[in-house]
Structures are given as structure tokens and as C-alpha cells.
Amino acid sequence: MRYFIKFSYDGSCFHGYQIQPNLRTVQGELEKALSYINGKNRVIVHASGRTDLGVHARMQTATFDLDRNIPLYKLKMAINSNIGDDIHVYSVEIVSSEFHARFSSVSKEYNYYINIGEYDPINRNYVYQYNRPLDIEQLKRNIKYYIGKHDFRSFVSAEDIRENAIREMFDAHIEVDKNIIKFVFVADGFLKYQVRNMVGTLLSICEGKIEDLSIPKILELKDRTTAGRTAPGEGLYLERVNY
């Protein structure tokens, strides 16, 4: 039986999503809980994608197969009873064997939060503490150049050596609420560190380290060294996955 779950987690408590030896990860915690529920037979969890160290998820999704047919409300209760308080499964469904959390998705939304006001120690693990002014109009002018179908190789981690870096960005904009800037990105898929590199590039433009309105040229060059720094992980959230 194949199950599909939606869940959220506090990324500051994990060494990323992907399972790693001797480190606490989201995938590791889920697989441990589900394998116990499955009569100690190992369960492999396939998520919509991986999040990095310190990155949070308001809506992550995953599929997995169980040997046992468990009522949905009991399965949800069992998972949540066997994982820590920093993960919560809030939806469980039965899906067809062809459905896959990653390959069946059509788009994802990531949000990135920056505090341009006073340093906030309470939210230091949840909002990037930039703590200085930014030119909002300049951000709005530049972020729009990410929209469209592009080769995002200039914004891909050097560790990500896959050949295809082409993704379609459906939306990219900012929203401002007092001292908090929210960067919104919606695309058919994202590459390792892509959002953090795109945000870092926008910050570098505002700081005068990269030429204004130069994102089209950076995209064209397909060279990571032409883009800005990688923004910290704590400001990033996987907001939703669409099917």
C-alpha cells in the first residue's frame, strides 16, 4: 500500500532532510518511525525534494510503501507519536502505486525571510538577521529577471554537477511587512542552493558588489562565480508543493 503524507518541520533541529550516517535528519527520523510501525521492516521515504541544513518546511510531502494496511487516522497518530516535536505530519492519504512525491509534482514554492531591522535573537534560527536597510525598489526591479525559463547554472551549488540546470520560474517577487522582507519563488523545480544563491545575488546587487540589472547577463554566462554569495539557510522555507 502506498501512502502520501504532508508534513512540516523545524529545520534548525536537523542536519538537513537527507539521511546521513550518525546525524539527525528529517528523512532518518521518518524512516525510523515508519520502519517501527511496519513491524521493523525498513521503509524508504521519498520526499518531493531535499532541504539543506537549517532550512524549514511548512509543507513538505513524501510517499512510502507499507506492508500493512493501517487506517489513515491511526497511521497519522502513530507517526506523530514516534517522531520528535520538531516534525509534524498533518495529512495522510492512500495513493496509487504510480504516484511519486517528487516526480508527480508540478511546482514548488519557496519563501525566504530577511530582517532588515534590529537584531532579533528570538528569531535568529527562522529569519536571516541582515539587520541593515535594503533598497526595496531595487530588489523589485531585479527579482523579476528570474521569471521565465532559464538555465540557472550560475545559481547552482558547485556540488551539484547535473547537466540539466534548466528550470521554469513562474513567479518571483517580494513582500514587505515592516522590517521583514519575504522573497517568494515559484518554479517547476529547484536546484541545490538555488534560492539561497538567488537571494544572495540580490543582496550583492543592493550592496553595490554586483552591477544593477545584471541578472540576465549572469544567467547567460552560466558561471557560478558571476553570481552573489549564498544566503544563510535559516531564512528559507519550503512553503508548498503543488500536484
Catalytic residues: 52
8-state DSSP, 231 = P
CA-CA distance, 1 to 75, in Å (whole number)? 12
Q: Which amino acid is at 110?
A: Y
The DSSP secondary structure of 107-148, one letter per residue, reads EEEEEEEEE-SS--GGGTTTSEE--S---HHHHHHHHGGG-E
Q: Is 217 helix (H, G, I), strand (E, B) or coil?
A: helix
Q: Is 232 left (phi over 0), alpha (psi -120 to 50) or beta?
A: beta
| C-beta separation of 183 from 219 below 8 A | no
| C-beta separation of 109 from 64 below 8 A | no
Joined together, the cell numbers standing for residue 240 give 508548498
Calculate the dihedral angle through the C-alpha atoms of 151, 156, 161, 164, rounding to the nearest 10 degrees: -20
CA 133 to chain centre: 25
| C-beta separation of 5 from 73 below 8 A | no
Joined together, the cell numbers standing for residue 19 give 539521511
Strands 128-129 and 107-115: parallel
